[in-house]
Amino acid sequence: MILTFFRNLIRDLRRQPLRTSLTLSGVGWGTFAVVILLAFGSAVSRQNLKTFRGVGQGFVIAFPASTTVTYRGLPKGRLVRLTPEQVLLAGQKIPGIKRTSFEFTATRAIRYRREDVLNTVRGVTVGYGDIRNIIAGEGRYLNDADVSQKRRVCVLGDTVTENLFHEEKAVGRTVFIEGLPFTVVGVMKKKIQTSNFSGQRDEHCAFIPWTTYSALFGDKYIGSLIFQPANPADSKRTIRLMREELGKLAGFSPDDNDALFVWDWTEFEKSFSIFFLAFNVFLGVIGAFTLLVGGVGVASIMLVVVEERTKEIGIKLAVGAKRRHILWQFFTESLAIVLLGGGLGFLFAALVLKALPVEKIEEFVGIPLLNPTVGVATILILLTIGIISGLMPARRAASTNPIEALRK
């Protein structure tokens, strides 16, 4: 029976070579468009999410500003000043906070031998590296002993390391920050980062213990604080608790939003993910409409096949064939044509994606891949188009009057 099915399918395709080739090319091109669009859409989403998370993941950053309402007899318009001790104390008191950190930030001269750059220097805590994805590719990151003993050590971003040391190994060498010697204990692992909230991107920065920064440069009040909610879904509640606790310590109302400018990175990331999900759906819809044109061609050729085989259908019905058998026969033939054209388009798309110079486009659009998501989405669209394009001619064949068919 299976051999008969394929024999009839090949016979029908050979009867109309031009129509068949156009139909298969239409379905193939539609499938090619779906695969390419979804592959590039997924790649762009992954790459942008990767660069987005280069800043960090699941954290909230806050910048002390100035008050706009009075608080317990204190006038409005006061600058909000926060010390490291206040931030750490607030983080310990608030339940649901995974990590709390802060930073001192300024642009300072960094020198090694004859090389001199003017880059951002950050005085940070040990937990800052975990929140901001500052991972040492060489050497190590800052530790508790560095902070408690106010050591003159630093971790350099990969780009500033290259600018200062070129091909020379940086770990263990001494650099001068504002003329003061610091031992390089680590070099940051290269990461893709397209944005930052203060100063230069991390690749251009030098990270030193906050205690050392405060002692050497005299800074008493932090530039910004960062904290990580244990549960990102609770970020709004955690932000409210942080406002209340810092308000008590620094003297401002927790309802004064301008006193502490808060940037919820978790909410931003959620919106970012939703946008690219919608973007991929949009690309899938465009590809589906392209494939639908091929489906119309399949329906057209099957209607011609039904017309040509009307007498055959009448004979089958006359000798006892059920209408559902006729329906299933022509429906499966339509579906087979769609899957055949889809397979050819899928194969061509796979070859094109494999031939792409990914090293030249990775930084901008990522690496387009035939991942399971793209494959499943393409198959589902193909099956949907196959069902739609096959039902009409199949139902027409099944509704044939055997007596009128035999007269033809």
Q: What's the pLDDT tens digit per position in 163-178?
A: 999 989 999 999 999 9
CA distance 340 to 386: 11
Write down the pLDDT at residue 11.
61
Cα–Cα nearest to 201, from 214, 217, 190, 216: 190
Q: What is the band of 337 on the pLDDT scale with cuts at 50, 70, 90?
A: confident
Cα–Cα nearest to 162, from 180, 182, 188, 123: 188
Q: Which pLDDT tens digit goes with each residue over 224-239?
A: 999 999 888 888 899 9
Write down the pLDDT at residue 404.
62
What values do phi and psi take at 153, rounded to 5?
A: -125, 160
Determine the average pLDDT of the residues in 331-359: 80
CA distance 59 to 266: 6
CA distance 131 to 291: 45
Q: Residue 355: pLDDT above 90? A: no
Q: Who's near 217: CB < 8 A, 6+ residues apart? A: 104, 106, 123, 178
What is the percent of the chain where pLDDT is above 90?
Answer: 37
Determine the average pLDDT of the residues in 208-220: 95
Q: Residue 83: pLDDT above 70? A: yes
Q: Which pLDDT tens digit goes with each residue over 176-193?
A: 999 999 999 999 998 887
